[in-house]
Amino acid sequence: SSDRVFNFAAGPATLPEIVLRKAESELVNWRGSGMSVMEMSHRGKEFRSIIEKAESDLQSLLSVSSDYVVLFLQGGATTQFAAIPLNLCESGDDEVDYLVTGSWSDKAVKEAQKFCKPNVIWSGKSEKYTKIPDFDSLEQNSNAKYLHICANETIHGVEFKNYPVPKNKAEILVADMSSNFCSKPVDVSKFGIIYAGAQKNVGPSGVTIVIIRKDLIGKAQGITPLMLDYKIHADNGSLYNTPPCYGIYMCGLVFEDLLNQGGLVEVEKKNIRKAQILYETIDKSGGFYRSPVEKSVRSLMNVPFTLEKSELEEEFIKEASKEKMVQLKGHRSVGGMRASIYNAMPLAGVEKLVAFMKDFQARHG
């Protein structure tokens, strides 16, 4: 509606208005239950129907096979940085491999250092995290328990377009998909674990989704806190303790909406179109706008860019905000601008942004 802005935030991020309206209509009295989802017992039949539908809709969206379990957890993707080594390594002496393609995979490896022996087999740091390596030239450790990647670096805007084959003995690939989860079809069978915070593409903050291959469950180190042990959550259908009920409900509404749009094949087409017009505007600006990221790995979700005349950046953000395009400031660690254009950002939002960018350039170029 006219009083909503185009919100380019990296997360928590914009949600589909249709989903917010539906939640609004059901807020006070969920489907005749006489109460809101926030007030329900997580063990009652109403909430069970909500979580079961959310799970099965997500399974449909990603064609998740019965070899995998979907978990709705808490603690954000950050908690998974610890849970993964705790569940996949037998002891602190086990080796694991990490590709460091940006700030998030860097944080993941630093947390893993507390629970195992991670090898950084490639880092893009010296090139300011603008690249993804050629997989054939990677030297993976055969005794590593898993290979970890961040499929989309939210801050640096680099996205894997395909995935390395894990050459470790266990053949396990683990991916942080926080910022491109459900933005395109993914072959889940290539991964041992996929995890994502919900607050970018699929819901509010407070829900962390983990999709894990069943044979990897039940091997956590003895010191693993209960809440980080995948087995506890898998055995209890994500209802071991009180889950983030309302957040799971919202994710369920988003999954329903994604299915209604025709599933992830259709969603990806829209995302490609949006990213295309934005990158094109940057590339055709004659250097007025710049994207630091190597073209082949530019993210469809997070588009960082700078102005050649960096002194104009503040003005750019201020003027955009006046025109109801908000949260365009780049992450404090890299500066510049960043437009996050997740699933729920409509094409109209990106069209408005590129029209503004062209106009801004005409006035200041």
Q: Which of 57, 94, 104, 106 is catalytic?
A: 104
Q: Which residue's Cβ lies closest to ligand PMP?
A: 76
Q: Does 104 bind ligand PMP (CB under 6 A)?
A: yes
CA distance 176 to 194: 6
Judged by beta carbon, residue 104 or residue 288, the one nearer ligand PMP is: 104
- The yes-or-no answer on residue 167 being catalytic is no
Interior CA angle at 20 toward 152 and 56, to 5°? Answer: 60
Residue 154 contacts ligand PMP per CB under 6 A: yes
Task: Read off the amino acid at residue 331.
Answer: H
Cβ-proximal residues to 101 (8 Å cutoff; 6+ apart), any chain: 122, 124, 129, 131, 132, 149, 150, 153, 156, 158, 160
Tokens 């893993």 belong to: 112
By CB under 6 A, tell whether 176 contacts ligand PMP: yes
From the list 145, 184, 200, 270, the catalytic residue is 200
- CA dist., res. 211 & res. 201, Å (int): 16
Contacts of 301 (CB under 8 A, 6+ apart): 152, 154, 159, 179, 180, 183, 200, 201, 271, 275, 340, 341, 342
Least distance from ligand PMP to the Cβ atom of residue 24, Å: 25
Kindly tell me which residue out of 37, 61, 77, 175 binds ligand PMP, with binding defined by CB under 6 A: 77
- Checking phi first, is residue 171 left (phi over 0); if not, alpha (psi -120 to 50) or beta? left
Helix, strand, coil distribution of the chain in percent, nearest 5: 40, 15, 45
Give the residue with the Cβ less far from ligand PMP, 11 or 203.
11
Confirm whether 270 is a catalytic residue: no
Q: Closest distance between ligand PMP and the C-beta of residue 351, in Å?
A: 25
Which segment (55-63, 162-170, 175-183, 310-318) binds ligand PMP by CB under 6 A? 175-183
Q: Work out which of 87, 101, 178, 271 binds ligand PMP, going by CB under 6 A.
A: 178
Q: Rounded to the nearest whole angstrom, what is the least distance from the CB of residue 208 to ligand PMP in the complex?
A: 6
147 SS3 class: strand
State which of positions 300-339 bind ligand PMP (CB under 6 A): none
Q: Which of 8, 14, 59, 76 binds ligand PMP (CB under 6 A)?
A: 76
Q: For 206-342, where are the alpha helices, taking DSSP H only? A: 230-235, 245-260, 264-283, 313-322
Under the binding rule (CB under 6 A), the answer on residue 150 touching ligand PMP is yes
Measured from the CB atom, the residue of 14 and 154 that comes closer to ligand PMP is 154
- CA 246 and chain centroid, separation: 19
d(CA 153, CA 174): 15
The stretch near ligand PMP (CB under 6 A) out of 129-137, 171-179, 277-285, 316-324 is 171-179
The site that binds ligand PMP (CB under 6 A) totals a number of residues, namely 11
Candidates 164, 192, 197, 247: give the one binding ligand PMP (CB under 6 A). 197
179 binds ligand PMP (CB under 6 A): yes
Dihedral sign from CA coordinates of 50, 56, 61, 67: positive
Task: State yes or no: is 104 an active-site residue.
Answer: yes
CB of 78 to ligand PMP, least distance (A): 3
Would you please indicate which residues are annotated as catalytic (active-site) residues?
Answer: 104, 176, 200
Residues found near ligand PMP in the complex (CB under 6 A): 11, 76-78, 104, 150, 154, 176, 178-179, 197
